[in-house]
Chains A and B, each alone.
Chain A
Amino acid sequence: MENLTYNGIDFSDLLPTINQLKIKEESYDSKRSLVLCDILCTTEYETLMSIFNAMLKVKEFSERSYNLVTEVIETVPSYYTAYAYKFEIIMHINKDISEELNWLDEFSLDNIKNYQIWSYRTELIKELHKENNSKDFFKKMLHKENLLTKLLFDEDAKNHHVWSYKSWFLSYFEYDLNDYAEEVDYIGKLIEKDVLNNSAWCFRYKLIMDLLNRSKDEEKELLLKEELEYSEEQINRYPDNISSWNYHFRMLELLKDKNFSIKKDLSSLYEAHLNESVYPIEYYAKYLNLIDKYGNQDRIKDLFLILRDHRDPIRKTYWDYKISQL
């Protein structure tokens, strides 16, 4: 009788399935005559994957399958099937989900560019939430999630996966006003650190829109004006930044949409920076268009012409289009 051990664990019982799958795979490969980008594997890797595949086939949900799947993920972090299988094992043998998240935290810190960790995390969090949906529990979870995402943002403050996950988490759960205040504060720190971090600006926008929806009318105006001021300060820190100009302009649009007055004349803000960047020219035109499209038509056209002919000629087609729309 043949034996099969891996990392000191006996898997001999899987040998018939392993051999069956080997014959199956060979039945495909034997017809082929080109390697066509097959990937070279070490013997150890082949053994690991053959055990994994056999377990999948017989649907083994056990402690040893749990450990082996972890090893597969650590060997090939993008092996998506392993995450799906691991999730099913956890559900079948009632593994502690919090423990699994602890493992995933560590693993995520070493695999920051990976896609699969986030969908896996999402499903684990949903399960955890099914088990316990108390306020207290949520607070602890939020605290823990933020510890992780902050560490990841220290590595890469624009990681789209992490931001998408953070956005999902915020949409899925009920944050209270204190939670929001902490989030806004943290985003402020990221923007302080790198004012050109567009990801942080986008998340700030999401937070502020949520707060806006929760606010009474008189609070709405105040909130938007605070954000207008905030983005103006950030523009003054570094004016050659599309993120802050765009955010600033969106606040103006929202103020106008909601019929709040924009009392202050902002022309001086734009004019102060006209020579420092193309964005103040462009957003000046947008501003003039927003407050009085017809009255400002000539001035807007002049700004577009400056962009088209001098400051931003690469976008000539675009500026011509903008002029044609006047």
Chain B
Amino acid sequence: MLNNDNSEIDEVIDIVIEPYSNMLYKSKTLQDKKEVDDTIAAIKVDPNQTLNVETHLNYILYFLISGNKLPVGFKSMNAISPWILYWLICSLMILKDPPISMGSGMSLELIMSKLKKEALLKLRKFQYNISTHIENDNDDLLHSGFSGSFMQIPHLAPTFASVLTLKLTNNLEQFEFKDMKQWFMDLMTKDRHTGSYELKTSTPIGEFDARAFYCLLVSAKLCHIDLGLDYLETLWDMLVNSQSDLEGGLNGHDKDQESHGAYAFCTLSSIIIVLDQLRLLKPEKYKNKRLHDFINIDRFIDWLAHRQDVLNGGLSGRHNKLVDGCYAYWVGACGSILNIYGYINPINMPMLKSYILNYSQDNVNKNPGLRDKPGMNADFYHTNYILMGLSLCEYENEMYLPDTFCDAIDIKCNNVKGKQVHCVNPVYGLPIYVLTEVK
């Protein structure tokens, strides 16, 4: 509706003739972007920069084997304790031939054997939780998911982090999971009002998003839990119908949401894990089927291609959002997966590697750990996902599937010299050498 006084028309004309530079005073997106671009521009790029392995190793070991607890300020992580173990132990195990020469006086073998024992003891405590046995204090009843700390309810995210930590420390066989399947079943409910399925990270209250699918599917796979055809097909229908018509990203369950790098990764990996199983369970429908039979790969590639910043090679999670080192994994892995499955990877991996080495680590003050972007502090989460992202860059052309339709857990890599990190399986988020014996 136009007002009588034409002020709206004037306003429109004003906008059209407004020079674009004025938009900077108006748009928060442009202001934020400029701030980051300026910070990054101030850093000198060294094309020969390598990973400061020793600096990061000190950071990881300081937290893993020190005798000090984390300070009170970390209390919010009490809700998600197993993640800290996964991030740090995975980071340590990605580093290739870490130069252990610190004051600890311990060899890598000794450190690993200590971590194996201690991770097991710590995680036992998180499998003790209120839903497994509220009335009975018998430890023999601990056979379900893990929680974020002692006496919480089990939750898919800490379960995923715990299972991966146990896999890394070769402890999975020390645990039983016979009630986990029932718990997984209970997490999927049908909404009474809409009639559609929901998968929650915990019950009765829990988040329903792409992370729930991914955490559940990876945990089930590593713990050898057979989810059954009906359950898998219900997940499958949600996953393959979640591609955004507007943007092309994979959204988990809601195609109308804004596509997001981390959710796209969780969805793509979930689709692969489910398809691996459906091929065996229902060959008449899924045998010899590939990703492009179910999702529009070209639209996904279009969306993925635009994650990379032209100026610095870093990746963003969404259109018009800032780059963040952690997307080196979430988004980088989408590219690697496409490549492994015979499609193109639209991400320029050498440029991504340059972002990681020049901007995600502090080469001036040699502050330890890896970070989102210059100006930010390093943390456990970024250290892990950026190291995994670096691995995807280093092994860009070395990862492959032994044959077109084999299980993603069998992704292999050519063992080549001169790398600073181990090869990571982009679907499962673990170094390949850890996964070799899973079947």
Interface residues of A (CB under 8 A from B): 20-21, 24-25, 28-29, 31-42, 45, 53, 56-57, 59, 75-81, 83-84, 87-88, 115-116, 118-120, 123, 126, 129, 157-158, 160, 163-164, 167-168, 171-172, 193-199, 201-203, 205-206, 209, 233, 236-243, 246-247, 250, 276, 278, 312, 314-318, 321, 325
Contact = CB atoms under 8 A, between A and B. Distances in A.
13 contacts: A25-B151, A39-B77, A40-B74, A41-B72, A75-B75, A81-B202, A84-B203, A84-B204, A87-B204, A158-B318, A171-B256, A195-B27, A246-B247
B128 A24 contact: yes
Contact of B12 (A29, A78, A233): A233
B319 A194 contact: no
Contacts of A168: 254
A34 B345 CA distance: 43
Given A28-B128, A35-B68, A80 B121 contact: no
Interface stretch (B93-101, B281-289, B305-313): B305-313
Given A79-B79, A84-B153, A247 B122 contact: no
A243 B319 contact: yes
A278 B308 CA distance: 14
B80 to A, nearest CB: 7
B205 A38 contact: no
Interface string B183-223: 00000000101100000111111111100000000000000
Contacts of B75: 39, 41, 45, 75-76
A316 B313 CA distance: 13
Interface residues of B, number: 90
Interface stretch (B15-23, B36-44, B412-420, B431-439): B15-23
Contact of B30 (A25, A196, A237): A196
B103 interface: no
A36 B72 contact: no
Contact of A321 (B70, B71, B260, B344): B344
Contacts of A119: 200-201, 205-208
Interface string B313-351: 100001111000000000000000000000011101001
Contacts of B200: 119
B150 interface: yes
Given A38-B69, A116-B205, A317-B348, A242 B257 contact: no
A53 to B, nearest CB: 4
A319 B310 CA distance: 14
Interface in B85-128: 85, 88, 114-115, 118-119, 121-122, 124-125, 128
Contacts of B125: 25, 28-29
Contacts of A195: 23, 27
A83 B202 CA distance: 11
A157 to B, nearest CB: 7
DSSP majority for the A interface? helix
B244 to A, nearest CB: 8
A88 to B, nearest CB: 7
A246 B318 CA distance: 13
Contact of A36 (B64, B301, B351): B64
Nearest to A316: B348
Contacts of B63: 37
A135 B30 CA distance: 41
Contacts of B348: 314-317
A193 B75 CA distance: 37
Contacts of A240: 20
Contacts of B152: 79-81
A164 B80 contact: no
B320 A196 contact: yes
B69 A314 contact: no
B151 A317 contact: no
A120 B208 CA distance: 11
A77 B257 contact: no
Residue from the set B12, B254, B257, B346 with the largest chain A CB neighbour count within 10 Å: B257
B134 to A, nearest CB: 6
A167 B257 contact: yes
Contacts of A172: 193-194
Given A163-B257, A318-B301, A76 B76 contact: yes
B258 interface: yes
A278 B71 CA distance: 48
Nearest to B124: A28
B134 A25 contact: no
A195 B22 CA distance: 13
A37 B193 contact: no
Contact of B88 (A37, A194, A315): A37
Nearest to B139: A27
Contacts of B155: 80
Contact of A198 (B74, B254, B258, B305): B258
A174 to B, nearest CB: 11
B66 interface: yes
Kindly list the 4 A-B residue pairs having the minimum CB-CB distance in the complex, ordered from nearest. A196-B29, A81-B152, A318-B346, A202-B258
B78 interface: yes
A115 B65 CA distance: 31
B67 interface: yes
B246 A37 contact: no
A77 B75 CA distance: 10
Given A83-B205, A198-B321, A209-B256, A315 B305 contact: yes
B260 A40 contact: no
A120 B202 CA distance: 11
Contacts of A77: 76
A198 B204 contact: no
B252 to A, nearest CB: 10
B9 interface: no
B29 A38 contact: no
Contacts of B193: 126, 129, 172
Interface string B1-38: 00000000000100110101001001111100000000
A237 B13 CA distance: 10
Contacts of A75: 75
A243 B258 CA distance: 11
A35 B63 CA distance: 9
Contacts of A129: 193
A238 B258 contact: no
A80 B64 contact: no
